[in-house]
């Protein structure tokens, strides 16, 4: 009997194949499965129910239990590999792995961010040892020296001035031809009348300047008063309180008696010390009004500049130098530049002569001997311009012709204007 049933089943299957039966494979499989189970006397409900029970999870999952066909369709349940696949979720190794997250070393590494590259890295910047290193700058003893002792630096350049019986420029910067020509013309006005002229102008900003007959020995006249008193006060700052009146009269009014009193009282040591420090070799001990060159005077004014700008010089002293009598620089440039200067002059009338607006000196009175009383108009000082400061010294043996009231005009005015233009053109 069992055999017949199996033969029958086989025949039915063959017929369905031959007839191209379109019934769903799952139904075909279900029907024979029930027959076989009955024939084998097994629990008939077991096999067919199995698919349904196996399908019913979806039914329980999918409240549409009546739609058991879909459950029987079980492709989705069988497909539940996606849920089984959910290993990817459980596996989510990638998540647990989150290698990229854990790997996010690149993020934690973010050195490229923190490095902002070469920003934090900028070792080249921090490394910029070549910059920070700039030891070359700190190494440059000359540069550090120059900063601390500008007067030393200035003297090096001024001492390079050579033989200059014609107008000569020195240093790395050269003045314009127009400015030089104007200065030459203003010098010629005096020299064509037989007067001697010598001058030096040194620009601190460019370390350059001009000179003319800078080695000619000439009398300092009263220009030496400012140098002596600054050297004295640098050594003894308290003396301004003791000799306030004498110092003001000697600097502002160029009073001879006040200066000679202080010089007699304190001796020549202060100015001799400055001469040693600047390399000026002329004897300052025997004459109150020594004879030197404009180059020497410019060297002494390097000490003046350093002292006046050091913060140690009394403000009153600076005020006196900004208002000193008969200074061409103060008269011509004082309206738009800060000027600290000291002029000097001589009438040629000998000791004991006093100046007044009514008196004039004989024109051209000079024997060309700087050690004798003779005519002279000199000016020395510092001018602070928008382009920087410059030192100057001008010596002449031009006749004095009292010009305290600026009638006639100071004979140095044209030279003073021309020197300013030269400095501006450097």
pLDDT digits 0-9 by tens, 347-381:
655 544 444 444 444 444 556 677 665 678 999 99
pLDDT for 34: 54
Taking residues 2-9, what's their average pLDDT?
65
pLDDT at 32 over 60: no
User: Residue 283: which pLDDT band, with cuts at 50, 70 and 90?
Assistant: confident
Q: What is the pLDDT of residue 180?
A: 97
Question: With 80 as the cut, is the pLDDT of residue 238 above it?
Answer: yes
Q: What pLDDT is stored for residue 246 in this prediction?
A: 97
**CATH-assigned architecture of domain 158-425:** 3-Layer(aba) Sandwich (3.40)
Query: 359 in helix, strand or coil?
Result: coil
Nearest to 120 by CA among 128, 112, 129: 112
- What pLDDT score does 163 carry? 79
Q: In this model, does residue 71 exceed pLDDT 70?
A: no
Q: Which residue has the higher pLDDT, 409 or 307?
A: 307
Q: Tens digit of pLDDT for each residue in 257-282?
A: 999 999 999 999 999 999 999 999 88
Residue 253: exposure state from Cβ atoms within 10 A (0-12, 13-18, ≥19): middle
Mean of pLDDT values over 57-72: 42
| pLDDT tens sequence across 178-201 | 999 999 999 999 999 888 999 999
Whether the pLDDT of residue 303 is over 70: the answer is yes
Question: 139 phi and psi, to 5 degrees?
Answer: -70, -30
CA distance 338 to 350: 34
CB 175 within 8 A of CB 425: yes
Q: Confidence band (pLDDT; 50, 70, 90) for 410?
A: confident
- pLDDT at position 153 is 80
Confidence (pTM): 0.64
Cα separation values, 196 from 179, 190, 344, 365, Å: 21, 7, 15, 12
pLDDT at 143 over 50: no
Percent of the chain with pLDDT over 70: 57
Residue range 217-239: mean pLDDT, rounded: 95
Q: Are 48 and 30 in contact (CB under 8 A)?
A: yes
Closest Cα to residue 398, out of 224, 197, 254? 197
Banded pLDDT at 237 (limits 50, 70, 90): very high
**Can you say whether the dihedral through the CA atoms of 372, 373, 375, 378 is positive or negative?**
positive
* Whether residue 229 has pLDDT greater than 90: yes
Is the confidence at residue 64, as pLDDT, over 80?
A: no
As a whole-number percent, the residues of the chain with pLDDT over 90 amount to: 49
- Within 8 A by CB and 6+ apart from 151, the residues are 278, 302, 303, 305, 306
Where exactly are the structural domains of the chain?
1-17+26-43, 158-425
pLDDT for the residue numbered 47? 44
Q: What per-residue confidence (pLDDT) applies to 18?
A: 54
Retrieve residue 28's tokens. 């075909």
Q: Residues 6 or more apart from 285 whose CB is under 8 A from it?
A: 268, 272
State mean pLDDT over 122-133: 36
- Cβ 366 vs Cβ 375: under 8 Å: yes
What confidence category does residue 173 fall into, taking pLDDT thresholds of 50, 70 and 90? Answer: very high
Range 272-305 burial, b when 16+ CB lie within 10 A, else e: eebbebbebeeebeeebbbbbbbbbbbbbbbbbb
What confidence category does residue 93 fall into, taking pLDDT thresholds of 50, 70 and 90? very low
Residue 344, pLDDT above cutoff 50: yes
- pLDDT (0 to 100) of residue 273: 95
């Amino acid at each position: 009997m069992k055999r017949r049933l199996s033969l029958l089943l086989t025949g039915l299957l063959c017929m369905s194949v031959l007839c191209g039966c379109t019934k769903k494979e799952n139904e075909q499989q279900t029907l024979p499965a029930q027959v076989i189970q009955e024939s084998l006397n097994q629990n008939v409900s077991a096999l067919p129910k199995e698919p349904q029970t196996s399908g019913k999870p979806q039914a329980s999952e999918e409240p549409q239990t009546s739609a058991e066909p879909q459950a029987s369709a079980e492709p989705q349940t069988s497909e539940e590999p996606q849920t089984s696949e959910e290993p990817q979720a459980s596996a989510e190794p990638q998540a647990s792995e989150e290698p990229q997250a854990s790997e996010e070393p690149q993020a934690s590494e973010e050195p490229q961010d923190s490095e902002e590259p070469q920003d934090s890295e900028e070792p080249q910047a921090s490394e910029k040892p070549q910059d920070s290193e700039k030891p070359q700058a700190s190494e440059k003893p000359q540069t550090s020296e120059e900063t601390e002792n500008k007067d030393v630096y200035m003297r090096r350049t001024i001492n390079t001035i050579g033989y200059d019986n014609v107008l000569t420029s020195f240093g790395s910067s050269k003045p314009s031809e127009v400015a030089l020509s104007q200065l030459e013309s203003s010098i010629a006005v005096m020299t064509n009348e037989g007067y001697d002229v010598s001058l030096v102008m040194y620009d601190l900003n460019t370390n350059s300047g001009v000179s003319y007959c800078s080695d000619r020995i000439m009398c300092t006249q009263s220009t030496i008063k400012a140098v002596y008193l600054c050297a004295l006060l640098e050594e003894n700052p308290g003396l301004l309180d003791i000799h306030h009146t004498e110092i003001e009269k000697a600097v502002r009014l160029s009073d001879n008696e006040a200066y000679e009193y202080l010089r007699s009282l304190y001796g020549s040591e202060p100015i001799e010390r400055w001469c040693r420090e600047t390399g000026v070799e002329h004897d300052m001990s025997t004459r109150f009004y020594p004879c030197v060159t404009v180059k020497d005077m410019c060297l002494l004014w390097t000490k003046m500049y350093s002292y006046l700008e050091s913060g140690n010089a009394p403000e009153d002293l600076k005020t006196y130098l900004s208002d000193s009598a008969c200074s061409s620089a103060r008269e011509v440039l004082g309206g738009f530049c800060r000027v600290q200067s000291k002029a000097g002059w001589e009438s040629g009338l000998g000791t004991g002569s006093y100046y007044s607006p009514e008196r004039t000196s004989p024109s051209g009175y000079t024997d060309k001997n700087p050690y004798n009383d003779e005519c002279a108009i000199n000016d020395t000082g510092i001018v602070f311009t928008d382009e920087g400061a410059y030192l100057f010294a001008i010596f002449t043996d031009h006749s004095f012709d009292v010009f305290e009231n600026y009638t006639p005009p100071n004979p140095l005015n044209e030279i003073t204007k021309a020197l300013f233009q030269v400095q501006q053109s450097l």
